[in-house]
Amino acid sequence: MPTRREFSRASFAAIGALAFGRGRWPGLQSSPTVNGARLNSHLKEMSRFGANPQGGVSRVAYSDFDRQGREYAIGLMRAARLEPRIDAAGNISARRPGTVATLKPIVFGSHIDSVPEGGNYDGTVGSLGAIEVAQTLAEKGVTTRHPLEVVIFQNEEGGTVGSRALIGELTDRDLGLTARSGKTLRAGIDFLGGNVAELGSVLRKPGDVAAYVELHIEQGGNLEREKLDIGVVEGIVGISWWDVTIEGFANHAGTTAMSGRRDAMLAAARFTDMVNRVITSEPGRQVGTIGRLSALPGVPNVIPGKVVCSLEIRDLDNAKIERLFGAIRAEAAKIAEATGTTFSYAITHDSKSALTDPRVQKAVETSARDAGLTSRYLPSGAGHDAQHMARICPSGMIFIPSKDGISHAPREYSAPQDIVNGANVLLRTVLALDAAPWT
Amino acid sequence: MPTRREFSRASFAAIGALAFGRGRWPGLQSSPTVNGARLNSHLKEMSRFGANPQGGVSRVAYSDFDRQGREYAIGLMRAARLEPRIDAAGNISARRPGTVATLKPIVFGSHIDSVPEGGNYDGTVGSLGAIEVAQTLAEKGVTTRHPLEVVIFQNEEGGTVGSRALIGELTDRDLGLTARSGKTLRAGIDFLGGNVAELGSVLRKPGDVAAYVELHIEQGGNLEREKLDIGVVEGIVGISWWDVTIEGFANHAGTTAMSGRRDAMLAAARFTDMVNRVITSEPGRQVGTIGRLSALPGVPNVIPGKVVCSLEIRDLDNAKIERLFGAIRAEAAKIAEATGTTFSYAITHDSKSALTDPRVQKAVETSARDAGLTSRYLPSGAGHDAQHMARICPSGMIFIPSKDGISHAPREYSAPQDIVNGANVLLRTVLALDAAPWT
């Protein structure tokens, strides 16, 4: 991890390499700035759709609230002089023409759907921030070389559905799955105005998009804790889930001596503690979690004969996830031996990590510095549409601080000034990407 | 724990003290013996009532199968020349007169109800064994000084209901509770032929019963493991249950660094391992179990913010239970400190231990030795009607081996010879108690 001083040195060195500098655009150092009051007022308006009495929103994909929020966003797009349309996958895509006909679009945006009992910032900051960037460019009369495309991906929280459709990774089986709204993905896409029969029309291949960049709240406490303005996202972590089944022998808790037990709960407890120890035994930002556990038969007076628990490991390095899991299995074998139990593992989810493009990272970092903001590099511990876009084009993400690192909850909060900072860095980054020789 | 040699020495010394010896009865050394084939055939017949296809029985209290089993037992009682009646509490009580009018009855028996998916031995061995003892005495023309009373307590598995009624500890609130049959205790008692309105008529006070003795399967593996025939029960353990609530903070499992977590699951895991360590840290037969655990929100990608688990501790010494619980609380406070969580405890069940009477223990031990059987003293890790009878009269229990220590399951099994041995020890013990100067 470079220090902030190192960042600055690296950035200055990079300016030449990236071939953009003062004067080429109406000032990169003196870039136009967004209308922060307007952006925060739009966020406040958006928070009405699906608002919960206790704060936050439940605007799950394919609900009426989701559709109302999307209609509100489409109105903002029109006001920003964009040309919004709903693609066959149900994503909202709004173009602004560029000056060079041969150039591919620079795409930026996020999502506006939420988890149940979610917050007002996850997704919406990036979506409305992107529209605000487009509106600012329109008002300042800035024309870019590349076409710009503001995108609001549908159903990010239910498995980054819209972006997977864009890269051709939404299967027929996926379309039959039921989303949190109760609708299948297939029915949900039609509900939003998409057209499942034409899903192939949305496909973007490598080379179709010049670059993708997404503004988002951090959903972690690093920036807030270190009092930094901007996170330059190095990549989206890989996420692996296993169901771990521990089998012992259920027996009478009163009449079975401690020495004669094969207690699956005791084995699960030692497993949970060991996972924590293995994950924290080396430097790095890897995380490991036991979030779900069920014990059978699950009554106070019977020694559990069987426990099933989840194991999740996340890291930016897929090989590290594999290595940590191997270490956990080896340690679990010792626990099994000591407790007279057996462990078995079934992988239930496995999304590989996606690295952002170093050139986009550098553009974000430089944009932050030029805007007078502090920054650091960090991984995204959560999944995002950007991880799929990274498969087809140079991609990056811009993070802003989350209060107490809380997300997916009514208490999720990012300060108005941090939101404005993020939108200004997005604006500068879009202009920097537009000016870059490699886009 | 005395060695077998020590038992023998103690037993010889006790013979004089107990004032019974060879010749006083038609031979204590040469006591009559039960008809083992008949007893095992009765057990087999009884296993038809509520038989499950996979083996074992579901003869839960107040079910039709329960009533059918009881009717079968009443028939056996009549054949044994007993005078059975159903008391107001629904217990079956069958008297055999004694020769000394002023003496109180010696009571012996058990129960015939089972847990759902239970086995063929728990309760029935002691119930049909008691009837077999009465039939043997009748056939051999043996008359006792004390009246004898064979009892089949109702609903032992649902909370020793019949014996609690006998000692006046069944409350109005208890009567309103719903049993596993779906009937309330009140309706169940009437269903069995009892009369809730007359419940006071069954009350036995201290002094009303000369002694109580119960034959039962061990429900543990001690006798089988040590290849011993008979267990002399020292007492029924006290059982305390707590609900332990561990509160941390639920947060995103991907974006929350390991160092920033307040993981209730990790705290629960360390708690579970620590309970095992504290319970096994000193000699003795205490047991401690975490049988039930639920984590909230209970999904793979959220750090659990709250865990509720059960804690059960059993020991023959109530003070030891208290002391162990105190040690667990103290250790849990350190875990709370280290994990940023809080622990709270709510007691949900607390039955105090009940010691059996040393004179009854000695009569059982001597009877086993005189029958040429090996024995050891041990506690009962499970609850029994005897624990309530111990409140009003000198009480004891006789255990026989359980295969693999399994009970409350179809695989529950005691060998025919062990059952016959148990019934013969019961017969000798009843005669010894009848002859004792203190009964």
Q: Which two tokens stand for residue A409?
A: 């909850």
| Whether B276 and A292 lie within 8 Å, measured CB to CB | no
pLDDT digits (tens, 9 = 90+) for A264-277: 999 999 999 999 99
Of A252, A294, A382, nearest to B254 by CB-CB distance is A382
Give the model's pLDDT for residue B29.
62
Mind telling me how many Å the CA of A248 is from chain B's nearest CA?
13
Mind telling me how many Å the CA of A357 is from chain B's nearest CA?
21
| Whether B221 and A285 lie within 8 Å, measured CB to CB | no
| Whether B381 and A268 lie within 8 Å, measured CB to CB | no
Give the model's pLDDT for residue B63.
98
Buried b (16+ CB within 10 A) or exposed e, A2-22: eeeeebeeebeeeeeebebee
Assess B269–A contact: CB distance below 8 Å, yes or no: yes
A334: confidence class by pLDDT, cuts 50, 70, 90:
very high
| Whether B218 and A258 lie within 8 Å, measured CB to CB | no
Angle at B296 between CA B293 and CA B302, to 5 degrees: 125
Whole-angstrom Cα distance, residue A368 to residue A424? Answer: 8
Q: Which two tokens stand for residue B374?
A: 């090996």
Give the model's pLDDT for residue A276.
98
Assess A292–B contact: CB distance below 8 Å, yes or no: yes
Contact present, B233 and B399 (Cβ < 8 Å): yes
Mind telling me how many Å the CA of A227 is from chain B's nearest CA?
16
Assess B346–A contact: CB distance below 8 Å, yes or no: no
Whole-angstrom Cα distance, residue B31 to residue A360? Answer: 96
Q: What percentage of chain A carries pLDDT values higher than 70?
A: 93
Assess B240–A contact: CB distance below 8 Å, yes or no: no
- Phi and psi (nearest 5°) for A369? -65, -45
Residues of A in contact with B237 (CB under 8 A): 254
Mean pLDDT of B266-273: 98
| Whether B269 and A269 lie within 8 Å, measured CB to CB | yes
| Whether A381 and B255 lie within 8 Å, measured CB to CB | yes
pLDDT digits (tens, 9 = 90+) for B176-235: 999 989 999 999 999 999 999 999 999 999 999 999 999 999 998 999 999 999 999 999
Q: Which of B303, B111, B335, B119 is nearest to B214 (CA)?
A: B111
Assess A374–B contact: CB distance below 8 Å, yes or no: no
pLDDT at residue B161 tops 70: yes
The string of DSSP codes covering A296-328 is ES--TTEE-SEEEEEEEEEES-HHHHHHHHHHH
Give the model's pLDDT for residue A348.
87
Interacting residues of A344 by C-beta distance below 8 A, sequence separation 6+? A244, A245, A247
pLDDT at residue A324 tops 80: yes
Q: What is the dihedral of CA B297, B299, B302, B303, to 10 degrees?
A: 70
Mean pLDDT of B242-252: 94
pLDDT at residue A119 tops 90: yes
Mean pLDDT of A427-433: 98
Q: Which of B148, B77, B153, B78 is nearest to B112 (CA)?
A: B153
Query: A39 by DSSP, 3-state: which?
Result: helix
| Whether B292 and A298 lie within 8 Å, measured CB to CB | yes
B408: confidence class by pLDDT, cuts 50, 70, 90:
confident
- pTM score of the predicted model: 0.79
Beta strands (DSSP E) in B135-292 are: 148-153, 211-217, 230-236, 238-247, 251-252, 287-289
A251: confidence class by pLDDT, cuts 50, 70, 90:
confident
pLDDT digits (tens, 9 = 90+) for B69-123: 999 999 999 999 999 999 999 999 999 999 998 999 999 999 999 998 899 999 9
Of B254, B273, B302, nearest to A269 by CB-CB distance is B273
Give the model's pLDDT for residue A408.
87
Mind telling me how many Å the CA of A10 is from chain B's nearest CA?
27
Mean pLDDT of A30-51: 96
Whole-angstrom Cα distance, residue B215 to residue B6? Answer: 24
For domain A4-236+353-435, the CATH architecture is 3-Layer(aba) Sandwich (3.40)
B357: which DSSP letter? Answer: P
Q: What percentage of chain A carries pLDDT values higher than 90?
A: 85
Angle at A69 between CA A67 and CA A73, to 5 degrees: 115
- Phi and psi (nearest 5°) for B130? -65, -45
Mean pLDDT of A349-353: 88
Q: Element (H or E) spanning B278, and its range? A: helix B264-279
For domain B4-236+354-435, the CATH architecture is 3-Layer(aba) Sandwich (3.40)
Assess B290–A contact: CB distance below 8 Å, yes or no: yes
Assess A334–B contact: CB distance below 8 Å, yes or no: no
Question: Rounded to the nearest 10 degrees, what angle do helices A416-435 and A124-140 cross at?
Answer: 60
pLDDT at residue A155 tops 90: yes
| Whether A273 and B270 lie within 8 Å, measured CB to CB | yes
Angle at B212 between CA B207 and CA B217, to 5 degrees: 160
Mind telling me how many Å the CA of A251 is from chain B's nearest CA?
7
The string of DSSP codes covering A207-228 is TS-SEEEEEEE-SSSHHHHTT-
Mean pLDDT of A295-303: 90
Mean pLDDT of A109-114: 97
Assess B277–A contact: CB distance below 8 Å, yes or no: no
Q: Which two tokens stand for residue A281?
A: 């035994």
Of B253, B312, B380, nearest to A300 by CB-CB distance is B312
Q: Which two tokens stand for residue A117?
A: 């009992």
Residue intervals of chain B classified under CATH 3.30.70.360 are 238-351
Of A256, A291, A382, nearest to B255 by CB-CB distance is A382
pLDDT at residue B24 tops 70: no
Assess B288–A contact: CB distance below 8 Å, yes or no: yes
pLDDT digits (tens, 9 = 90+) for B293-336: 999 989 898 899 999 999 999 999 999 999 999 999 999 999 99
- The reply to whether ipTM tops 0.85 is no
CB pairs under 8 A between A and B: 200
Assess A255–B contact: CB distance below 8 Å, yes or no: yes
Give me the residues of B, 399-438, that contact A with CB < 8 A: 405-408
Residues of B in contact with A117 (CB under 8 A): none
Q: What percentage of chain B carries pLDDT values higher than 90?
A: 85
A29: confidence class by pLDDT, cuts 50, 70, 90:
low
Mean pLDDT of A293-311: 94
Among B121, B301, B353, B404, pick the best mutation site for testing chain A contact (most A Cβ within 10 A): B301
Average pLDDT, chain A: 92
Residues of B in contact with A265 (CB under 8 A): 272, 290-291, 293
Whole-angstrom Cα distance, residue B211 to residue B188? Answer: 28
Contact present, B357 and B211 (Cβ < 8 Å): yes
- In CATH, the number for domain B238-351 is 3.30.70.360
Residue intervals of chain B classified under CATH 3.40.630.10 are 4-236+354-435
Mean pLDDT of A301-317: 95
B310: which DSSP letter? Answer: E
Give the model's pLDDT for residue B251.
87
Residues of A in contact with B311 (CB under 8 A): 300
Residue intervals of chain A classified under CATH 3.40.630.10 are 4-236+353-435
pLDDT at residue A202 tops 50: yes
